[in-house]
Structures are given as structure tokens and as C-alpha cells.
Structure 1
Amino acid sequence: MTTIPDQLNPPARRRRNARLLLALAELVGACAEAAAEVYRTIAAAPPTQQALKVSPLACVQVSYTAAPLLEAARQEDDVRWPNAVARERAQSLHAHAARCAVARATDFLEGPAVLGVPVPTAEQGAAMALAEAGSEVAALWRDDPEQAVARVRELAAGGELVPDEILDAATEDAVTIGLLALQGVRGAAEPSIAAERCLGAVPYFALAVTLAGVDLD
């Protein structure tokens, strides 16, 4: 069997993002285990016991370690696939330039801004367009993956967005919501609430696994 070099054959997303997928899967397990530790203590107590000493420490620890874990995984993936990174950056720069051109044209057609109202620059508008596309696709994917796939293709049809960068933005959106859910663990009034919030992050990390590993072709 002939192996095609990385520079000629872009890796499947599940290979390209393998360390991120692993970290997300481990994070799902860590959230479940941290919550289980809270419920395990409660379940082990006899019915006659009134005061329970339950610690949310495991949930809190997950909330602090999640973001660094995912960032390290992303960096490891980039190191593993340098040619893919270079290719993605070139495609992203081309699409970004196209979005900036669209933003400038829109500003010209819409005329001067309302006095006192800040107007995004073309660069900011381009970044916002990608983030909004990612958020839209992530939300659609939760309810109707087929519709989400169709929307990715529709968004990419004009050349201002690249399918993989839309999926990456959608992955980031799901991850961000999950991390925000974990941040809520730290302010929980009691351990059982901390456990609930820890588990509440799991669906978003699971969605991120799907988005980070899917290939449209």
C-alpha cells in the first residue's frame, strides 16, 4: 500500500484533531466521575444520618483544569500536523481577506455610522462573521445534523468561509459553552449543585467531539 504524504493528502479531521478529541473524551469522563464522587458520598450515607460531609472539590478541580487541558491538546495537534496547519492558515487568510472585502463593501453601501455608535472594523467584522457562523452551525447540529451540514456548505459557497474553519469555529463555540458551564461549578451553593453543573457541561463537550471529528466529504 502506498502512503500519501501529509502535504499531498489532508488528514481526516478525526486524525488532525486527535489529541483534542482525546482530551474532550477524557474531560467528559472527568466531569462524570467528579459528579459521581459527590453522589457517591450521599448514596453511601445511611438514611438515619442527618449531617453529611460532602466535598465538591473534584468538580471544582475539573473546572480549573479543563481549559488548559484542551489548549495543550490543540497545540499538540498543531505540532503533529505542521503541513496541515500551514495549509489551513493559507486557506483561512484567503477567506479572511474575502470577508474583509465584503465588510468594507457593506460599510460603503450602508453609509456613515450613527454618531456615537462604534462600528466594527473590517477585520473585526470578518472575525465576527466566522464566529457567528460557528455558533449557528453548533446550534443547528444539536437539533438537526443534516441541516447543519447543508448550512456549512451554504455558508462556504461564496468563498468567504472555508468548511473546516466553520466546523472549527462551531467546535470552539461548543467548547466555550461547556467551559462556561464548568465555571458555574465554582460558585455553587452546595455540592449537589456543583455536580449538576459539572454534568451540564458534558453535552457541549460531546457535541465538540462530533464537530471536531466530522468530515463533510
Structure 2
Amino acid sequence: MTATPGRLDLPARRRRHARLIAALTTLIGACAEAAGEVYRPIAAAPPDTAVTERSEEAATVLRELMVCGELAADDVLDEAVDSAVLTGLLALQEARTASDPSTAAELCLSAVPHIALAVTLASADLD
């Protein structure tokens, strides 16, 4: 029995993908560090300091949700942030209990968009 050409390249393909994933996770880490450098001083600022960070996309979506006027914008935004954080944390919890490191890494990376969404929503300025 002979191996198919695609099968012969599988180990090389896996290594190539592993290098790509490693580079992308380094990039995610660098982005997180850069965001931390921006938001740590804001978080540590005295309460009377004005902070005007804006996410137009999140604000637009929220305004669309508020058209009916039944809910307060702050309440909807808070719930959206909580939901995104919870979804990300659930993915991280699942990563902790994964049976192998590869699955754990994939699950950990799947949490990133949820956490990024939570940051976007939390930084939305509706004023």
C-alpha cells in the first residue's frame, strides 16, 4: 500500500500550521498587552477624570436595540458585556478541562473573539 501525496505532506502541513498558530497567538498577546497599556491608566484614573473612548459600531448596534425605548441603553450594554465575558470564560473553562494540549489551545483561542467583543462593548460611548 502506498501513501497518497497529500498524506506524505501531513506532518509538514501540521508544522506549518503550528508555526502560523504560534505567530498568531504571539500577535494576540501583543495586542492584549498594547490594549492593557492604554486601559490600565484609564482604569487607575480618579473617578472625576473624563474618558472618551468610542466604538461607533457597538454604539450603533445598541442604539438600534434601544429604538423601542423599553430598556435603558446602559442596561442593555451591561448585559451584552456580561454575556460576552461569560461566553469567553466558558470557553477558557472548557480549555482547562481539555484532554489534550492541542484541543486546549484551540478552545483558548476560541475565547478571544468573545473577550474582544466584551472590550468593544465595555468601551462604547453612547453620549
What TM-score comes out, normalization by structure 2 length? Answer: 0.52
Which 5+ residue runs of structure 1 have no aligned equivalent? 1-38, 44-72, 83-140
How far 1:149 sits from its partner (Å)? Answer: 2.9
**Residues 141-180 of structure 1: matches in 2 within 5 Å?**
146-154=60-68, 157-158=69-70, 161-180=71-90
The structure with more radius of gyration? 1
How far 1:146 sits from its partner (Å)? Answer: 4.2
Which residue number in structure 2 is paired with residue 192 of structure 1? Answer: 102
Letter in 1 for 2:82: E
How far 1:178 sits from its partner (Å)? Answer: 0.2
How far 1:78 sits from its partner (Å)? Answer: 9.4
Q: Distance in 2 between matches of 1:169 and 1:79?
A: 25
Letter in 2 for 1:149: R
Aligned length: 84
How far 1:212 sits from its partner (Å)? Answer: 0.6
Residues 73-121 of structure 1: CA deviation (Å, up to 9, x unaligned): 9xx9599437xxxxxxxxxxxxxxxxxxxxxxxxxxxxxxxxxxxxxxx
How far 1:191 sits from its partner (Å)? Answer: 0.5
Letter in 2 for 1:184: E
Q: Distance in 1 between matches of 2:119 and 2:43?
A: 14
Change (3 A) 1:166 1:77: farther
How far 1:162 sits from its partner (Å)? Answer: 2.1
Q: Distance in 1 between matches of 2:43 and 2:67?
A: 25
RMSD: 3.3
What SS does structure 2 have at the residue aligned with 1:176? helix
Work out the percentage of aligned pairs sharing the same amino acid. 46
How far 1:187 sits from its partner (Å)? Answer: 1.4
What TM-score comes out, normalization by structure 1 length? Answer: 0.32
Identify the structure with bigger relative contact order (alpha carbons < 8 Å, sequence gap 6+).
1
